[in-house]
Structure 1
Amino acid sequence: MWQTVFADFTAGPKADPADLDRAETELGFPLPESYRSFCLDCGIGLACGSLRIAIPSPTESADLGTRSELIAHSIASVLETREGHRFEVEGDDPSVVERACFFGETEAGEFLFWDVVVGADQTERREYEIWVMGADLESVRFGGADLPDLMRRLQGPAVRGILGMGAEPLPSSFLGQVS
């Protein structure tokens, strides 16, 4: 599937199914199918010339659990210094930030997160909407319905609605990190 998302594709070190299952247990919710596919097929690397997606990995700097916790803690620390801070959320539903599970970031400092809405049946794998928090920690914009949708939208004119009006379409590439 990912060769249809990226015209230029070189896989990096990949997660295995046991790593993904462990991450689900640690996080407490099923990982989206598109994300599982990304971890198994693409691995660690740079997507669209700008995005780093964390995957369950023994490499701490790339590990989903470590990165998610670090990003959330860093954002919370900054927001503690901003009295009365409010996010400007596309669609005006600020609760999306309360359900955030961060899983990636851009080279320019934006953060990718899933809006993790878990129903009564937590064993069902599903997709969670992907949102992008601006590097300013003020704007939150819809990124995509799933990971391939996000990547495709970033490669076309929709990038302006995700990364800002000055953004240009990102390259259709995935460059795996050399292990």
Structure 2
Amino acid sequence: MYNDIVTITQEPKIFGDQDFLDTFRFENGYPFPPSYTAFCNELGYGKLCDLFLIYIPMGDHPDSWVVQYKKMKGLFDYYLDPPLFAIREAEGGTDLIANAIPFARSENGEFLFWDIRHPQPHGEFPVYFTDFSTGIRPAGNSLTTFIKNVSGEATFKSVLKFYQKPLEASFQGFKELIW
């Protein structure tokens, strides 16, 4: 799936914990979205679009989704009390952030999160982008759609409002788990 979407600049070496991916369920009973599971299995641990770390389940490693989700969710909750201006101004922003399931962070401090309250066809969840200063924007209905949106000349501004050019549809796999 991802070989058709991204250029792999460094081969993936570390993949998501398959047992965790197979058995984990969100509070609404849904598993991880298929595009995320495929990402964990096909690409794994590395940098997407030369910018984003998509956190995958890797046990207690500091970059594991299990560890990073708790940290990112704590930050999201912190920004709700009181809600930042960018959260208040976004349509449904307070509810979106309160129910967000963050799964990625950029090197610029931006975040990707799912809204699991609104499952899409085929088990996907809407993906949102925020940096908490310029608002919250829909980024796609799956991780694959997100990649296409931020790397497309005609679509990147819908997500990356202040970027001057689209991101490169690439993936750089990390060679080892560094602690």
Is the alpha carbon distance of 1:61 and 1:168 closer, same or farther for their aligned partners in structure 2, counting shifts above 3 Å?
farther
Residues 70-149 of structure 1 aligned to structure 2 (within 5 Å): 70-80=71-81, 82=82, 85=85, 87=87, 88-89=89-90, 92-94=91-93, 95-117=95-117, 126-136=123-133, 139-149=135-145
Is the alpha carbon distance of 1:84 and 1:151 closer, same or farther for their aligned partners in structure 2, counting shifts above 3 Å?
closer
1:63 deviation in Å?
1.2
1:107 deviation in Å?
1.1
Does residue 173 of the first structure (1) align with residue 175 of the second (2)? Answer: no
Please give the alpha-carbon distance, in whole angstroms, between the structure 1 residues aligned to 2:100 and 2:29: 13
Letter in 2 for 1:41: E
Q: Report the counterpart of residue 13 of structure 2 in structure 1.
A: 12
> Could you say what secondary structure the match of 2:168 adopts?
coil
Q: What is the percent sequence identity of the aligned residues?
A: 24
Is the alpha carbon distance of 1:51 and 1:85 closer, same or farther for their aligned partners in structure 2, counting shifts above 3 Å?
same
When structure 1 is superposed on structure 2, of 95-104 and 18-27 the one drifting more is 18-27
Does residue 156 of the first structure (1) align with residue 152 of the second (2)? Answer: yes
Number of equivalences: 171
1:118 deviation in Å?
6.5
Is this contact kept in 2: 1:23–1:64, CA < 8 A? no
Is the alpha carbon distance of 1:172 and 1:166 closer, same or farther for their aligned partners in structure 2, counting shifts above 3 Å?
closer
1:78 deviation in Å?
4.2
- The unaligned stretches of length 5 or more in structure 1 are none
> Could you say what secondary structure the match of 1:60 adopts?
coil
Is this contact kept in 1: 2:12–2:175, CA < 8 A? no
Is the alpha carbon distance of 1:23 and 1:125 closer, same or farther for their aligned partners in structure 2, counting shifts above 3 Å?
farther
Is the alpha carbon distance of 1:85 and 1:4 closer, same or farther for their aligned partners in structure 2, counting shifts above 3 Å?
same
1:39 deviation in Å?
0.5
Q: Give the root-mean-square deviation of aligned CA atoms.
A: 2.5
1:98 deviation in Å?
2.7
Please give the alpha-carbon distance, in whole angstroms, between the structure 1 residues aligned to 2:162 and 2:118: 33
- The unaligned stretches of length 5 or more in structure 2 are none
> Could you say what secondary structure the match of 1:24 adopts?
coil
> Normalized against structure 2, the TM-score is what?
0.83
> Could you say what secondary structure the match of 1:57 adopts?
coil
Please give the alpha-carbon distance, in whole angstroms, between the structure 1 residues aligned to 2:135 and 2:55: 22
Is the alpha carbon distance of 1:106 and 1:18 closer, same or farther for their aligned partners in structure 2, counting shifts above 3 Å?
same
Please give the alpha-carbon distance, in whole angstroms, between the structure 2 residues aligned to 1:164 and 1:151: 15
